[in-house]
């Protein structure tokens, strides 16, 4: 995910309504921090999903350490947002930017939680010598969820509404594939009940992957809100939306 000055910076220069260089400086600092946090979380998710696909249980401890750092970072960004609100009392599009950063900040923290959960389950799955490789459908779901994250954070960095919309549209495909994976894993429980702990851990992992894709879509919604002021949350899906918007290519409660 590229970092640095991007399309949003020029928007602030042209549309900023809250007068004051101090506000612009504070907002640029907040934006830089949220992009750096996004890059760290993206890397954690990549490692976690690669560990799942490759059966690398040793990544769990590293992700545990990274999770603590992300938790502290998330709190720091939230406090800075509150300070900006209290100090500058932004209005209109300026207020929208602070609100969007707060929302994205929370989504990133939750994504790091999910990366950690998956890594912990990989470590426990390693107790079953037949757990790896994981079912191909689950691996495909994992790679699709990771692709959604990459696309969503690219849309955030570039402030790209069309790319964000593609992520939101693609989430319907992820939901469909998740249901298919759950059906397959439940059938495996019936066929091989002696391995129920492994199947239930894979069921929970699939649920985590679906939630990762959900948070990718929520970040994409925040990009649209940031640019257009449009709130998409809870809006029913539009069945007439052109499937060509989906630009992302398809990727080749029990024990925790």
Please write the tens of the pLDDT for every residue from 9-62: 555 455 455 457 888 888 899 999 999 999 999 999 999 999 999 988 887 778
Return d(Cα 215, Cα 13) in angstroms, integer: 29
Mention every residue, 6+ apart, whose C-beta is less than 8 A from residue 189.
196, 199, 200
- The string of pLDDT tens digits covering residues 137-187 is 999 999 999 999 999 999 999 999 999 999 999 999 999 999 999 999 999
- CB-based burial of residue 175 (10 Å sphere; 0-12 exposed, 13-18 middle, 19+ buried)? middle
What was the pLDDT predicted at 256? Answer: 58
User: Quick one: pLDDT band at residue 8, thresholds 50, 70, 90?
Assistant: low
Q: Is residue 112 within 8 Å of residue 42, measured between CB atoms? A: no
Q: To which residue do tokens 């950063």 refer?
A: 101
DSSP state of 159: T
- Return the structure tokens found at 157: 């960095």
- Return the structure tokens found at 73: 């970072």
Q: What angle do CA 201, 52, 123 make, to 5 degrees?
A: 60
Helix, strand or coil for residue 130? coil
DSSP state of 60: H
């Amino acid at each position: 995910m590229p970092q640095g000055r991007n399309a949003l910076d020029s928007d602030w220069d042209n549309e900023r309504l809250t007068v004051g260089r101090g506000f612009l400086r504070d907002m640029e600092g907040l934006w830089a921090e949220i992009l750096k946090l996004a890059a760290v979380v993206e890397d954690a998710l990549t490692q976690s999903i690669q560990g799942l696909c490759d059966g690398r249980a040793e990544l769990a401890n590293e992700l545990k350490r990274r999770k603590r750092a992300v938790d502290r970072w998330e709190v720091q960004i939230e406090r800075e947002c509150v300070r900006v609100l209290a100090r500058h009392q932004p209005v209109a599009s300026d207020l929208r930017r602070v609100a969007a950063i707060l929302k994205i900040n929370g989504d990133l923290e939750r994504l790091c939680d999910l990366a950690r959960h998956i890594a912990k389950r990989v470590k426990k799955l390693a107790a079953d010598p037949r757990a790896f490789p994981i079912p191909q459908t689950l691996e495909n779901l994992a790679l699709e969820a990771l692709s959604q994250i990459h696309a969503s954070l690219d849309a955030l960095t570039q402030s790209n509404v069309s790319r964000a919309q593609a992520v939101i549209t693609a989430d319907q495909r992820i939901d469909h594939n998740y249901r298919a994976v759950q059906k397959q894993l439940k059938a495996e429980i019936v066929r091989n009940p002696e391995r129920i702990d492994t199947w239930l851990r894979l069921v929970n992992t699939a649920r985590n992957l679906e939630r990762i894709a959900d948070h990718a879509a929520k970040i994409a919604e925040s990009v649209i809100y940031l640019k257009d002021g449009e709130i998409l949350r809870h809006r029913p899906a539009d069945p007439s939306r052109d499937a060509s918007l989906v630009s992302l290519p398809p990727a080749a409660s029990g024990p925790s």
